[in-house]
Structure 1
Amino acid sequence: MREIVFDTETTGLDPSAGDRVTEIGCVEVVDCIPTGRTFHTYVNPERDVPQVVTEITGLTAEFLADKPLFAEIAQKFLDFVGDAGLVAHNAPFDRGFINMELARLEHPVIADDRFRDTVAIARKKFPGSPASLDALCKRFNISLDSREKHGALTDAVLLADVYLELNGGRERALDLAGDAASAGSGTVFPPRRARPVPLTSLSTDAERAAHADFVATLGGGDSVWKRTGGL
């Protein structure tokens, strides 16, 4: 199942009061696993950006002045999304802004039932626990090192990791049943960050050769062990 995990940055909290979108970041996932495809753009909101918002996002009216208007990127965004479901953290907020911008262009809005809210999922899964994106990243040991300010693509990448964990965790990426790796899914295995100092191998050449011979008996070229590199 193809979905788009996305985030928006805006000039404020209320689209009905004149607040506008300033940034959109999207991450494509298939069966909850990131494929590597992303969409990102800044947007000229055609208005000022309050200082309190700049302190959170780092975005200023001056920086956004030469960026495309929403009207110029709307079709590119819709083409990337296609008919996929949309996943957001506090989805009613992002849905409200995206649909407001589409309505301003007299474009059909995106139906409510296409959105999934990771806040609601987290609160159901962990009742009584904090459900902010930061709190969920800490719960699942997802690094926040890349996040100096709130950025739409940065937050969408983090949310994609959180969404995977909320739906079964990284063991889902191994897909031992073969469902997510079925032909045509386009799914890729999430990359692992390289160790600063590689571990020394504890196996001998003979042991590695024996292991390779064993893996060769486990199936065709698309077997899990061959796709993930074995040991």
Structure 2
Amino acid sequence: MRLNPPMASLLTRWRTAWPWTAHQRLQDPRLKAVHARLRACKPALLARTPLAQTRFVVIDTETTGFHADAGDEIVSIALIELQGLEPTGRAYTTLVNPRRDIPPLSTRIHHITNADVAAAPVIEEVLFDIIPFIGDSILIGHHVQFDIRFLNKTLYHLCRCRLPHPYLDTMMLYIAVSGRIGHCKLEDVAQFCRVTIHGRHTAYGDAMATAAIFQTLATHLSRAEQPVSRLLKCQRAVGQFHHL
């Protein structure tokens, strides 16, 4: 089968950057550690943990576009740690070199240029930092499946693993609290929760706002002593309603 030029270029970049077979890649001790860390995650145990005792990691990314499976890549990522509903002060943020041009339309949204990311680490290197940071946690994000999809693309290629962590989407929790149906932008939810966004369309600014939004929504839907599964059930109920 003859590959179209963009796909051929994408595959060439992967081949030259990393050993091609999964077996070869898993000989790298760092990838072995990532693989073992993800395999050790216990989603059911995390879901049973009381809200006040749960470690959450809020995640946000900026990307070259919307389509992880069509060659778009992460250009910036931020992680914020919460213990229960309280920020711990731990955070991780970095630009990421996507190894491709950032379309002007995307730059107009997040203001990240090709020059900004030229000396930044590539996503494979960033994963060696963020997987230990995520650790045993519940992931939080606004439209968080978008961010997870981009990370899973690289994780699966590198070590045939995906993030097994339970996740909570602040958009879905907002619908559960407000009763509003439809696509809800971060700005809409922030206004509802009386949260000010500092640095909209920056990974760190959006992650900080999402953390504050989650604090508000979680207190509406659950109590500190109740397990995180209560919030997961609320989210699941909203998702089922959306598919009716």
Report if the CA contact (8 A) 1:4-1:85 is conserved: yes
Equivalent residue in structure 2 for 1:168, among 179, 198, 219: 219
Per-residue deviation, 1:134 = 0.7
What is the aligned partner in structure 2 of residue 119 from structure 1? 171
Whole-angstrom distance in 1 between the partners of 2:77 and 2:194 = 25
Whole-angstrom distance in 2 between the partners of 1:73 and 1:143 = 29
What is the aligned partner in structure 1 of residue 118 from structure 2? 65
Which moves more between the two structures, 26-35 or 10-19? 26-35
TM-score (norm 2): 0.65
Whole-angstrom distance in 1 between the partners of 2:160 and 2:168 = 22
Whole-angstrom distance in 1 between the partners of 2:157 and 2:74 = 12
Whole-angstrom distance in 2 between the partners of 1:135 and 1:47 = 32
What is the aligned partner in structure 1 of residue 63 from structure 2? 10
1:155 pairs with 2:206 = yes
Matches within 5 A, 1:174-185: none
Q: Find the residue that maps to 1:128 and give its secondary structure.
A: coil
Report if the CA contact (8 A) 1:20-1:101 is conserved: no
Whole-angstrom distance in 1 between the partners of 2:91 and 2:137 = 14
Q: Find the residue that maps to 2:159 and give its secondary structure.
A: coil
Given residue 92 of structure 1, which amino acid in structure 2 is its aligned partner?
Q
What is the aligned partner in structure 2 of residue 34 from structure 1? 87
- Greater helix fraction, Structure 1 or Structure 2: 2
Whole-angstrom distance in 2 between the partners of 1:32 and 1:63 = 33
1:84 pairs with 2:137 = yes
Report if the CA contact (8 A) 2:171-2:189 is conserved: no
What is the aligned partner in structure 1 of residue 191 from structure 2? 138
Two-structure CA RMSD over aligned residues (Å): 1.8
Per-residue deviation, 1:65 = 1.1
Whole-angstrom distance in 2 between the partners of 1:106 and 1:47 = 22
Report if the CA contact (8 A) 1:27-1:38 is conserved: yes
Q: Find the residue that maps to 1:4 and give its secondary structure.
A: strand
How many pairs were matched up? 169
Structure with max Cα Rg: 1
How many percent of aligned residue pairs carry the same amino acid?
A: 30
Equivalent residue in structure 2 for 1:25, among 54, 78, 85: 78
List 4+ stretches of structure 1 deviating above 6 A. none
Whole-angstrom distance in 1 between the partners of 2:170 and 2:58 = 10
* 5+ residue gaps, structure 1: 178-231
Per-residue deviation, 1:35 = 1.1
Whole-angstrom distance in 2 between the partners of 1:32 and 1:78 = 21
* 5+ residue gaps, structure 2: 1-53, 226-244
Per-residue deviation, 1:104 = 2.7
